[in-house]
Amino acid sequence: MRQYELVERVLAYNPNADENLLNRAYVYGMQKHGTQLRASGDPYFVHPLEVAGILTDLRLDDATIAVALLHDTIEDTDATRAEIDQLFGPEIGQIVDGLTKIERLNLVTREEAQAENLRKLLLAISQDVRVLLVKLADRLHNMRTIGFVPEEKRRRIAQETMDIYAPLAGRMGMQDMRNELENISFKVMQPDHYDAIISRLQEMEDENQEVIQRIQAELTEKLDASGIKAKVRARLKSPWSIFKKIEQKSIALEQLSDMIGFRIIVGTLDECYRTLGVVHSTWKMVPGRFKDYISVPKYNDYRSIHTTIVGPGRNRAELQIRTQEMHNVAEYGIAAHALYKDNVSGSLKRLEKESQAYMWLRSTIEHLTEDGETDEFLEHTKLELFQDQVFCFTPRGRLIALPRGATPIDFAYAVHTDIGDTCVGAKINGVYTPITTVLRNGDEIEIVRDHNHRPASNWESLATTGKARAAIRRALRVDAQRRAKGLGEQVLSMLLQQHGVDDEAEAVKRMAAELDLKTREDIVLAIGEGRIDSDQLQAMAKTLGAKRLFRRRKIQLPAPQQADGWFSLRQAENFRFRLPGGQKTSSRVKAAIASLDFNTPVTVSPEGVVPGDRMVAILSMDGMLTIYPIHSDALIQQHEAEAAWLDVMWDTNYAADELHTVTVSMLAADRPGMLAQVTATIATSEANIHNLVLRMVSPDFHQMMFQLEVRDLAQLTDLLTALKQTAGLSKVMRASYEQSSEVTSIDWEQKKDS
């Protein structure tokens, strides 16, 4: 295509195009690419010129055509962004830069580079959709000439096209471009299958030519008789779509009977439904094959009525009924909108209102790029692009489109991130169902919420949308940091209090400098996450001018013995003791520790403990040694007491088969079979139910408290995890001692009778 031919093609549909801009871009691009050659041996500038030609078929504005001529200059020549801005303006410079790959990346794998380049491209698309249109035209011409590329590289490019660019074109409603990208990729990756399907399509077209003409004639005649002027066209399905159907249905190519369909294009929306009435009243429809995408458009703006009839000669025929405007959108997608007749910013605002596809793209880009890791970004992008959709409704009738295989978790996050984070259950069509239930078209979903609830760690594997997965990861990360900060703040506050620090700000500043951190928040987070160990805490104490915070000493103890008939404990290698702030080490404490042996009387805290719980021994001044689990509220009272704190460990070789009592509390939805479901989960974990209390806390929820017998902490942890994954349960936790005592004090027979 010559320079004047390109300009004439643009002027043919846009008489007000800037000829000077097009000519300057043509000359600049040709000069910059100079003597560069493509793999085919053609001058390189043929490629941007052909890309521009593809975009003229989409009737795009002159600025987009100029970008097509310049799109490889920054990446493949000595041209710079500043030079493009100066010669053609910052608008064109920004789009060209958005199309430029990130070449100098400190990345390990090709997948990481691909993900980062895709991330940059999507961000540029979210700013200006013309980046996408030029990129797709660029990829289409590269695929048309892929035969000149070495085979190994050819297959990689074809796979990338199938994974990213073809689905992206489909999401934007550009079906013609999607079909061509998929079919060329299919031909490269599986040439034998492609050739077989092409051969079969040609045979079917030849064999059914008479039937096709008869169906077209009868449809046209019936519609004319009803006063509807329509164009009836036969169409062959694409080879790739046929191959997918063969694989999905596990059938032979010869068994497919619907490879030829018909499009009926009418003048108005009203005529679409009148046409449907004529068709269904003349021929029998095939049950289950009717879809109204006019009433409920697809998210790529596709609108059409689909139906299948048993037509003339008892031949099945697939029909698509649409207006010419709908047909333009179905073929050209987002490019069918008159986007750039006015100024660009005004056009983009209008595009956001007119095109659901672009709104979807921008929202998808927002949650894909806001916080994903490089290795996850590519996976989640493909996940968003590939999935077919199901349409579900909120109780108020709002339509939510989700990928096939989506669950109530995905639905909740699609409505709002806060709803997803606080989701504890769901009603589907008025019935409580597990949050892992796969949603179907037309389902009405009501999300049951608990504002104190946060996503479980296994939700990420249950979610199918990138938005839900990203939100779950973010919520888990925030919760982990919140817990770590809370723990770190307690430790830091205790440290400052113990040493009588008056100027906390100055003390924290000195600590931060010592630990190479910046703020108090950094310090407490590092403490809570375990990134500051006891040696560093020693350094912090020294920074405050305090004496050694921890005193460590090895002591020799006899072999483990049974203590109070509950369990056997053995002394950890080191011990520590705490004193009220500022006091010197008590000689009585030293003496008590020096004389300690396992003949010392031992009292076990009455709180339920199981082997594996972290335990602390408190040695009082009167020589009494009391063992507490680390979660005991009683330990709070010991913080300021003059007593030695000793870390003790379970003797895992002792009483392995002995059972220990612990209480588990949970909030359960009030629905039939809930108690049976919970008890079955407990039985599966091989725990024994010793007692049970039920309370109604609201019309829809009961509190369940089970007193259970378990072997050790590992079994209890597995049980709690299984219960947290049970649909209809929330706030699953190990109960406090007070709650445990309450269960013990209630007579089960009386509770059952009441």
Closest by CA position to 123, among listed 353, 372, 394: 372
Other CB atoms closer than 10 Å to residue 676's CB: what's the count? Answer: 9
DSSP for 608-660? ---TTS-EEEEE-TTS-EEEEETT-GGGGGGTTSSEEEEEEEE-TTS-TT--E
**Measured between alpha carbons, how far is 627 from 635 in angstroms, rounded to an integer?**
10
The alpha carbons of the chain give a radius of gyration, in whole angstroms, of: 35
Output the 3-class SS for 277-288.
Answer: HHHHHHCEECCC
DSSP letter, residue 312: G
- Residue 744 contacts residue 685 (beta carbons within 8 Å): no
421-442 in b/e burial notation, b at 16+ Cβ within 10 A? Answer: bbbbbbbbeeebbebebebeee
Q: Is residue 668 within 8 Å of residue 674, measured between CB atoms?
A: yes
Which own/partner pairs from 124-127 qualify as long-range (CB within 8 Å, at least 24 positions apart)? Answer: 124/94, 124/95, 124/97, 124/98, 124/99, 125/98, 125/361, 125/365, 126/361, 126/362, 126/365, 126/366, 127/94, 127/98
Cβ count near 260 (within 10 Å): 20
Residue type, 405: G
Distance CA 670, CA 701 (A): 5
Q: State whether residue 587 is helix, strand or coil.
A: helix
The contacts found for 115-121 with CB under 8 angstroms, 24 or more apart, are 115/374, 115/375, 115/377, 115/378, 115/381, 116/374, 118/164, 118/377, 118/378, 118/381, 119/368, 119/369, 119/377
Distance CA 566, CA 472 (A): 41
Among the listed residues 18, 57, 76, 640, the single catalytic one is 76
Q: Are 13 and 59 in contact (CB under 8 A)?
A: yes
- In the residue annotation, 354 being an active-site residue is answered as no
Q: Rounded to whole angstroms, what are the CA distances from 389 to 82, 127, 303, 464, 669? A: 43, 26, 15, 12, 30
Helices (H) and strands (E) in the chain, counts: 32, 22
What is the C-alpha to C-alpha distance for residues 128 and 344, in angstroms, rounded to an integer?
9
Cα separation of 189 and 199, whole Å? 17
Distance, CA of 163 to CA of 169 (rounded, Å): 11
Q: Is 301 a catalytic residue?
A: no
Alpha carbons 612 and 631: distance in angstroms, whole number: 13
The pairing of strands 660-669 and 643-650 is unpaired
Report the C-alpha dihedral over residues 48, 53, 59, 65, rounded to 10 degrees: 30
150 Cβ neighbours under 8 A, 6+ residues apart: none
User: Angle CA(203)–CA(204)–CA(210) in degrees, nearest 5?
Assistant: 115
**What is residue 43's DSSP assignment?**
B
d(C-alpha 44, C-alpha 386), whole Å: 33
The answer to whether the CB of 576 falls within 8 A of the CB of 583 is: no
Euclidean distance between CA atoms 295 and 248, whole angstroms: 28
Q: State the Cα–Cα distance between residues 371 and 474, nearest whole angstrom.
A: 8
The answer to whether 512 touches 500, Cβ cutoff 8 Å, is: no
Given the residues 75, 91, 450, 529, select the one marked as catalytic. Answer: 75
Q: Annotated catalytic sites, by residue?
A: 75-76
